[in-house]
A and B are shown apart, each in its own frame.
Chain A
Amino acid sequence: MAFSEKTKKSMNTKPKEPFDFFHDERVRSIFYQLLFAAAVGWFAWYLISNTAQNLEARGMNTGFGFLNVSAGFDSYFKLIPNEPGVGTYGRIFIIGALNTLYVSALAVIASTLLGFFIGVLRLSNNWLVSKVALAYVEIFRNTPLLIQVIFWYIGVFSLLPRVKNSIDLSAGAEIFLLNNRGLYTPWPVPGDLLWMTGLAFIVAIIAVIIFKRWARNRQDRTGQTFPTFILSAALLVLLPGTVYLITGMPLGWDIPKLEGFNFAGGASLPPSFIALLVALSIYHAAHMAETVRAGVLSVSRGQYDAARALGLRGKKVMSLVIIPQAMPAIVPPMISNWMSAVKNSSLAIAIGYPDLVSLFMQTSLNQAGYAVELVGMTMAFYMFISLTISWLLNIYNKRVQLVER
């Protein structure tokens, strides 16, 4: 074994390779990344230019100028005023977007509340209660939403009595009326001094917040609890109520009256709106319930026992120990459930509720053309809403995540 001096040296130190541009690993990886980026960029460019060329070649109109053109039609349900036939396509877009947001916001709230309730029932020790909740979840989760939407519309809300035989939900007072053309309710007409009642309400809220802080500090210092709930409720009701009475009850009500074919005055919700809201709420509540159940079950039994051992009572065990630990497991699936509720509201088209898809992609597309622009704007709207929901809930999710120590 006789290595020469030179060989020994080269075994100890790493041999110095000359930098070879075509065989260097880093160069190669950058090259492939550039190649991939170029391919993606080229594909996007190809799609856009090809579409533009084809639209041009077929003599189809392009551009967004049509948004300023009067649409010639109107929406029968809208949250902002629109002069029939004069309002522009841009305004139709806003009307449709607001209608979509309106029904889906209410559906999100209703399905979350109902979902929490059903989810808790599902965990009940009472056999009957938990099985009823199970049946609810399985029936509504395992049938297509479109069928449910049509069922609620054709099978329930259009079978209500006709206008002349409206159901009076207010027991003879004839202010809340339900018939197959919708739900008619009184609508508040604010008087001059109503702002003072509003102001009193805001003052009451601020007072309650300060009061709760004080009670909490006191508990931290002395260990004694203070009955905040009754006092807060009294403050919230009494302060605005007194101001309202003193200022002479400055709030009138516009009550629906039968005039000609329909009820006039008050506010009304069309049956398509109610049917869609009910269908979305019930369907998504079933999903919510499962999410809540899974979240609660993910908290180990030991946590419950430990909380009991510390002397906490049932309600407090839930609100102080179980739910805070279940939230990190509940929030992420809840986000996707809310996003689905918004997107599923587009099934409105089946029953004629004028949401964004129905007004913009159905009616406008047929009257004005501009298929690419219309579909693009509608998609961008849904994407914007979904990303916003996901962003907001992710912020919340970060806050409820367990802080590990």
Chain B
Amino acid sequence: MKLSTLLTLVLALAVMTAPVSASAAGKTLDIVKKRGNLRCQVGTPSGGFYNLDAKGNWYGLDVAVCQAVAAAIFGDKNKLEIQSVSSQARFTALANGESDLLCRTATWTMSRDTQLGLDFLTPDFYDGQGFTVPKNSGITSALQLKGAKVCVTSGTTSELNLTDFSRVNNLHIDIVTFEDWNVRDDTYLKGGCDAVTGDKSSMAANIASFPKPADHMILPETISKEPLGPAVRHGDNEWSDIVRWSVFAMINAEELGVTSANVDKMRASSKNVDVRRMLGVEGNLNEGLGLSKDWAYNIIKQVGNYSEIYEQYIGSGKGALGIQRKGTLNELWSNGGLMYSPPMR
């Protein structure tokens, strides 16, 4: 081996061992545009929020939020890849760039928002935790569950809330955890636990799937606040803006009375400046987001406003969960709820 060869090798080694910095995460919007579709993460199929129809298409409230973001970016709600990820891997899959967006009934909590490298944006559904019990058990209040066995999905806020609830009320509840909610429900139905707990909306969906839904009921107590909404990776503010305002656009559209049915007419002839600004007829709201002028129009035209998606998947629509919106936190602020969009101007 010649000295020069040796030197070359040593140099090559030196180059290889030089610090390799993590490639900058890049702007999510650019990556999504370049790829040509949006990767939106949901969980394993669950009624109302993300479910599969007979043809294998995803539908539900959370899926509608994914579609809204895709429509805002591409003008086509179908430029979307739905990723169904186990709850174990959900936050990691978002943090490492596998998913662009997570929208899967994940509860917005402070520790998740500040410690996992994610940002929750705005709730698209306000839920609360409740208990399902068999009607013939004679239980009418969660406080009667002293010493009972309660089934819960592991790794959820429900598990933590249940632990707190039992501790604070001195109930000594025997908490049985399951990774798979099918096994959890199966255990409950065979009498392996006295009650099953989770978000009330998902309890309603589960009861509907039981062999005899009329034999089960949800107890009146709501033991927690569960704001559910989309989350993105921490640090890409432009991307956060796009997702957040896609949700706000649907809420704002409901407030302004713009629906998927009348949006064309509204864009052509509405005199309301708020509507004109939102739909891109006036002003430059789109510029801050880096999207085209008709981003909000595309959301409303293709996906609908908040009331439409709520009724279709959660409320009174065919195959929906049948959860009344009236009187809940999910009403518009003007009707006494918490759904509120900052002004679009």
Contacts and interface: CB of A to CB of B under 8 A. Distances in A.
Q: Do A and B bind each other?
A: yes
Interface of A: 22-23, 28, 35, 38, 42, 45-46, 49-50, 53-55, 57-61, 72-74, 76, 84-85, 150, 153-154, 158-159, 162-163, 180-181, 259-262, 264, 270-272, 349-352, 354, 358, 361-363, 365-369, 371
Contacts of B194: 261
B177 A76 contact: yes
Contact of B163 (A38, A73, A259): A73
Given A158-B190, A362-B155, A270 B176 contact: yes
Given A73-B160, A365-B92, 8 more contacts: A38-B17, A76-B176, A84-B167, A85-B164, A262-B174, A271-B192, A350-B179, A363-B159
Interface residues of B, number: 57
Nearest to A49: B19
B95 A352 contact: no
Contacts of B9: 35
Contacts of B96: 54, 58
Contacts of A23: 1
A350 B88 CA distance: 13
Contact of A42 (B16, B87, B95, B184): B16
A367 B160 contact: yes
Interface in B223-254: 233-235
Contact of B3 (A22, A50, A158): A22
Contacts of B87: 366
Interface of B: 1-3, 6, 9, 13, 16-17, 19-22, 25, 87-88, 90-92, 95-96, 111, 115-117, 145-149, 154-156, 159-160, 163-164, 166-167, 174-180, 183-184, 186-187, 190-194, 233-235
A23 B1 CA distance: 6
B20 A366 contact: no
Contact of B177 (A38, A57, A181, A363): A363
Nearest to B137: A261
B233 A76 contact: no
A270 to B, nearest CB: 7
Nearest to A369: B116
A35 to B, nearest CB: 7
Nearest to B25: A57
A181 to B, nearest CB: 6
A154 B149 contact: no
Given A53-B22, A58-B233, A366-B156, A72 B115 contact: no
Contacts of A158: 186-187, 190, 192
Nearest to A23: B1
A166 B16 CA distance: 68
Contacts of B167: 84-85
Given A50-B22, A60-B117, A362-B179, A369 B192 contact: no
Contacts of A58: 25, 95-96, 117, 233-235
A363 B90 CA distance: 12
A74 B163 contact: yes
Contact of A180 (B117, B163, B190): B190
A158 B192 CA distance: 7
A81 to B, nearest CB: 13
Contact of B88 (A85, A180, A271, A362): A362
Contacts of A262: 147-149, 174
